[in-house]
Structures are given as C-alpha cells and as structure tokens.
Structure 1
Amino acid sequence: MSDDDITRPTVESDTELAFEGALRPASLAEFVGQKKVRGQLELLLKAAAIQGRTPDHILLAGPPGLGKTTLAMIVAHESSRPLRMSSGPAIQHAGDLAAVLSALVPGEVLFIDEIHRMARSAEEMLYLAMEDYRIDIMVGKGAGATSIPLELSPFTLVGATTRSGMLPNPLRDRFGFTAHLEFYDEAELTEVLRRAAALLGVRIDGAALAEIAGRCRGTPRIANRLLRRVRDFALVHGREADLGTVREALALYDVDDLGLDRLDREVLSTILRRFDGGPVGLNTLAVSVGEESDTIESVVEPFLVRVGLVTRTPRGRIATPEAWRHFGLTRDSGALFGDDL
C-alpha cells in the first residue's frame, strides 16, 4: 500500500468535514428563513454596535433543528466577538457555571444549549451574572462560610431551549430578547436544500429538491440530512440525483411522502390497529412501541399533532380521520383487539 493510499481517506474526511461546517450560514444575510427573527436580531446587534456595548442576552426558543446553534454562531460573528459553547446538561453544579463565567473575556458570547436542563443552583447563580456581571462564591462551610464576590467581564448570553415553558420566570425575564423560531415552509426548505446542494457539489433538479422539501418535517436539519442520504444513494448506484432517485433513496430510509419515519408510523399504527384509533395514554403507548415516553412526547408527537394526524385529549392520544386515510384503513379494519384493551 502506497503512502497516497494511506493518506487519501484522511484528506477525504477533512473535505467532508469542511462541507459539513460550510452548511451553516456565517451571517444573517446567508441565513434562510425566520425572516422576522433575522430582522429583530439585526436591529439588536446594530444598536449594540452603535452604542459600543455588548448585545443584550438572547433566548432562542423552538423545536430542534431550526437553527438555534447557527444563530448563536452568527451573533458572535456579526458582533466580532469570540464564542464559547456549553450545554445545560454539562452544567450540573454552580461550580461548573462559575468556571465557565470566570474564564470569559470582555464581550464574549456564551452559548448554552438546552439551557432549561441546567441545575437549579447554577440557574440561581446565573441571575446575578446576567444582571450585574458578578457572582458570589461561597468559601467554607457552616457558620464559618463566607461569600466572596467575583467580578465578571461583560458578556452576552445566548440560551437555546426546546422547552421554554420549563425555564423559571426569573431566568426568562433576564433575557433582553426572546426569539421564537417557527417551522419552515416548503419554499424556504427548497432554498436551504439548493444552497446545501451547491456546497456539497450535488447536481439535483428543482423537482427533486421539492420532493425532499416536502418530506423533511419543516426542519432544515432533517432536510440537509436527507439530501446527504440522496447524494450517497446516487453516488453508490452511479445515478443522477433526479426525482426517481430521491424517491427510491427516501423509501430505502423509511421516509414516506409526509415525512413520517419508522417510529412515527409505528406509533400511529399502534394507535390505529391496537387501540382502534384511541384514546390511549402516553405510558401505555410508549410500552406498546418499546420506546421511552419522553421520546414519544418530545420527538414523535409534536410533528404528528402539527400535521393533524394525532390529537391530544385529557383521556389520551387519538388518531384523526387523516391518519386513518394515510394508512388506507377504516375504523373497523384497523382494530386488532377492539375494546378489549
């Protein structure tokens, strides 16, 4: 084996990683979709630049995959500030947060993903840090314990959450601006895919792009992932990435024409066939499909409710008439066990 054979995979991997990074837009002008949020952020950042101060703290709320992390990177880039990234699950003690905050340089942007999952003690420390740029560190224990104030450099906190309702009000109120990200429409997703295809060097026509856009659940992250799978399918089979190739590739990966994947269809099929369309409780449904109830509630249900296939009631989850039609079933043919369960 030659040296070229040994090094070629590394070069190709580096190139692929570069492509992955390039899929994230670097500025608000390049960011597709979220027009209202982009305008609000642009105003906030320009006002801070004119006044020569750090931008206000920003909370980005919305479902996964809509660009919260990308927007945090753009805030740092357009403010010409360094960026430090962390996550709520990684901050489980006040000391963890104190270490992060004390290392910030003046004007730095601190991004905390899933901020609602921080420990309560860390949240309480963050209140003072966001308002007065200082924290109090307890030294010692018991009656001899003393509090030592530590001054912090001015910074901008960008928090991201998929469950804004889980944030305590004192923390939510300390953000100067809260952005609510919405799902993308098919036209916006087509533009996202067109940009990604150009960066990935994928030759694909408009009909194929529209087909992918209609199956990615209004989410750019899923759109880019499906595009890469179509690229792989076309590459392996030596074909053009046309409409037929897209449909075959997505069928291979169990993505139907509504964007439902295997787990979505399994949940719906269970409600329809085993429970005659519902109602069925969350825990019973989770046990029936062999998944955690949190996964059903936070990953599967939001999309099924949004596209009108499932409704949530006080008695449990109920499949809508659209769900019966999507599976080609009637209420009598769908039930395997009827009212016995």
Structure 2
Amino acid sequence: MTEGFRSEIRESDGSLEATARVVDAGGDDDERIVEAALRPKRLAEFPGQPRVRDQLGLVLRAAKQRGSTPDHVLLSGPPGLGKTTLAMIVAAEIERPIRVTSGPAIQHAGDLAAVLSSLDEGEVLFLDEIHRMSRAAEEMLYLAMEDFRVDVIVGKGPGATAIPLELPPFTVVGATTRAGLLPAPLRDRFGFTGHLDYYDAADLETILHRSARLLGVDADGEGIAEIAGRSRGTPRIANRLLRRVRDWAQVHGSGRVDQVAALAALRLFDVDAAGLDRLDRAVLEALCRRFAGGPVGLSTLAVAVGEETDTVETVAEPYLVREGFMVRTPRGRAATRRAWEHLNLTPPVGSTTQDVLPLDDGPGRLGSATD
C-alpha cells in the first residue's frame, strides 16, 4: 500500500466505513470524525479489557521481535466495545498499513480475491462483521489465511481452470458481534481470539475523562460519574452521551459538564438512572402493562412497541436481560421483579414475575417465544 493511502486512512482513522451504521444524536460527518478521533491509537492508551489487551500485546510484541507477520486475530463481543479500535491498534503497533472492509461488502469470491490480491506484505486486513460474509468467500478465505494463496477460476463449465495466485504474508483481523455464527473451519484459522466484555464504571470514567480532554470539555468528577453510570458499560454510548451533555451545558448551562448538566441533558435525551432509553422502557411498559409481565412472544412484543422484531431482539433485549429486567423462557419474554420496581408498578396477583434468571433453553426450544 502506498504512503498516500496510509495518509488517507489516518485522516479518517480507517473507521468511518465501519462506524457509518452507528445512530448518533448528531448524525453528521463531523460527529463521526469526532468519534474516530477519540479512539486510542496504541495499546498502552486502551482502557479496560486488561486480559485481551495483555494477551494481544504479547502476540504483537513477539511477532515484531521475530520480524514475522502476527497470527490472524478474531475479536468478538457486543457493539461499541472497541473491536474496530483494536484492529487499528494492531496495525499501529506493528507499524503496517491497514485495509478496511466488511463482511456484507464481500458477497462473492471475486470480491475477496480482488482485495487479497492487492495486499502488500505485512498488511493488516480488517474484516468487520466477518460472520456476514458469503459462504463462497469464506471458503476462499480459509486457503488465503492458511497458505497465503487463492485459486482464481478462469472460464466456465468443463473448460474452467483454477490458477493459483500466491499472496504475501498478511494478518486478518476479524470482528464479529455473533461469534457463534462463524463456521468452525474459519474460527480455527485465527491464531488469537479475544472476547470483549462490557466495561465497569471505573473504566468508563477513565475513558470519559480522556475524551473530555480531547474534546476540550471542562468536566468534573460528578458529571463524568453520572454519565458513566448510564452508559450501559459501552464506551461508544459513553462518548455519545458526553457530547450531548456538552451540548446542553453549552446552550443552557455554564459550559461545564457537572452533575446538574448531566442530569438535565440525560433527562432530555430519555436516558434514565439505569441507562434505559425510550425503546427499553417501551418494551418493559408493554410487558408489564399490556401483558401482565408475560410470558409473551417476541413478535407480539415487537408489534406492541411499534418496532421490528430484530430491533427489539438485538437492540433492547440484550441489555434488559443482562441487567435483570427481563428473562427469556421457552414460552416467551417475561418481566422480572426488578422491571416492576423500576416502573413503580405492582405485579398483579398470580403473575409469572420472575425473581431469578432462568437458564435460556436455547434457540432449538424457543419456537413459541418468537411467535
């Protein structure tokens, strides 16, 4: 890759394509550029995830000392925890350029062959949402990752010929929010697999203090702590809320991000003390007020809140289940006692309110839960 291309990657931080799907309160190009600028550039600057950070650091340092290309890296975990940032850091730590693409963009083997054939030696190929690649592209990637070659098919039918194309050594960094959807042969070709967990409040406060300095925001500890406590353990959400509180303080306050500004801004943007937003509360309200706490099928619940089934299942449900507001049962979704208490409601007599989280019986036995 040329120096000019590396400069372009640095200017956009190589992440605009990968983060274009993020729905932000600002939503314009300036907001996405600010989001990218807040990303740490080195492992030493990366807060939280100490186990993954230390393991990945060891892999990269050892490869650099040997003068070889690092093993392929697979990063998994919920959205917003730093998978894209770590991919950029891998390239920075080994001082090599990075090529950014995504699984949905590679739907044919020819698409992947075009990307692979243009890689330089030692280059990092970042595949976001790698589980959404087509099967044909996955099978080509197997060979490329293991033997650094691809077979290009020329012609059709009986006269088709496979021409092997040798590739220089490179490193694939794959990111996925659903590691279970990756086929085993692809998963096994990654030399290092790291799973990112949600951050605790202390790590989020560290991230917010750093972001405030980079943004030139005057913030105190109480304001930062209030934002961190409502960020759902996710740095992306924490940085987004910080910018919204900054906006409120600039327009309505003294310009300082303190607890008063944080409380007022988060109230304006419908983020409550537990970190629940409008959709989360709508789901709980429907469960408790319309369906007496459940259980109720996912599609019925989605219709009740006026959202698509996938939106409820992938956006609202994971946090509600993790925080103990809702449970998944073989018969559907049900509210827990904490949900009733959070809404200041009293469970009806004879309701199926759960006090503890049952084990999920898995997708094979949840047919009625999705009706």
Q: TM-score, normalised by structure 2?
A: 0.85
Which residue of 303, 314, 327 maps to 1:311? 327
Residue by residue over 1:9-67, the C-alpha shift from the partner in whole angstroms, topping out at 9 and shown as x without a partner, is: xxxx9987764433100000000000000000110001101111100000000000000
Q: How does 1:73-222 map to 2 (within 5 A)?
A: 73-222=88-237
Once residues 175 and 116 of structure 1 are traced to their aligned partners in structure 2, the CA distance between those partners, rounded to angstroms, is 14
Aligned letter for 1:331? P
Which residue of 253, 259, 265 maps to 2:269? 253
Aligned letter for 2:45? E
Over 6 Å off, 4+ runs: 13-18
Partner SS, residue 291 of structure 1: coil
Aligned letter for 1:36? R
Once residues 270 and 29 of structure 2 are traced to their aligned partners in structure 1, the CA distance between those partners, rounded to angstroms, is 29
Aligned letter for 2:337? P
Aligned to 1:4: none
Aligned to 1:277: 293
Which sits farther off after the overlay, 74-83 or 17-26?
A: 17-26
Q: How does 1:15-34 map to 2 (within 5 A)?
A: 19-34=34-49
Q: Compute the displacement of 1:332 (Å).
A: 2.7
Q: Compute the displacement of 1:219 (Å).
A: 0.1
Aligned letter for 2:118? A
* Alignment RMSD: 1.5
Aligned to 1:288: 304
Q: Compute the displacement of 1:238 (Å).
A: 4.0
Once residues 208 and 308 of structure 2 are traced to their aligned partners in structure 1, the CA distance between those partners, rounded to angstroms, is 32
- Percent identity (aligned): 68
Partner SS, residue 331 of structure 1: coil
Aligned to 1:325: 341
Number of residue-to-residue matches in the alignment: 322
Aligned partners of 2:253 and 2:261 also within 8 Å: no
* Structure 2 unpaired stretches of 5+: 1-27, 352-371
Aligned letter for 1:69? T
Aligned to 1:10: none
Aligned letter for 2:319? F
Once residues 113 and 32 of structure 2 are traced to their aligned partners in structure 1, the CA distance between those partners, rounded to angstroms, is 33
Tell me whether 1:72 sits opposite 2:79 in the alignment: no
Aligned to 2:362: none
Aligned to 2:360: none
Once residues 16 and 304 of structure 1 are traced to their aligned partners in structure 2, the CA distance between those partners, rounded to angstroms, is 28
Tell me whether 1:264 sits opposite 2:272 in the alignment: no
* Structure 1 unpaired stretches of 5+: 1-12, 336-341
Q: 1:328 to 1:84 in 2, by over 3 A?
A: same
Q: Compute the displacement of 1:175 (Å).
A: 0.4
Once residues 33 and 137 of structure 2 are traced to their aligned partners in structure 1, the CA distance between those partners, rounded to angstroms, is 35
Once residues 55 and 213 of structure 2 are traced to their aligned partners in structure 1, the CA distance between those partners, rounded to angstroms, is 28
Aligned letter for 1:260? L
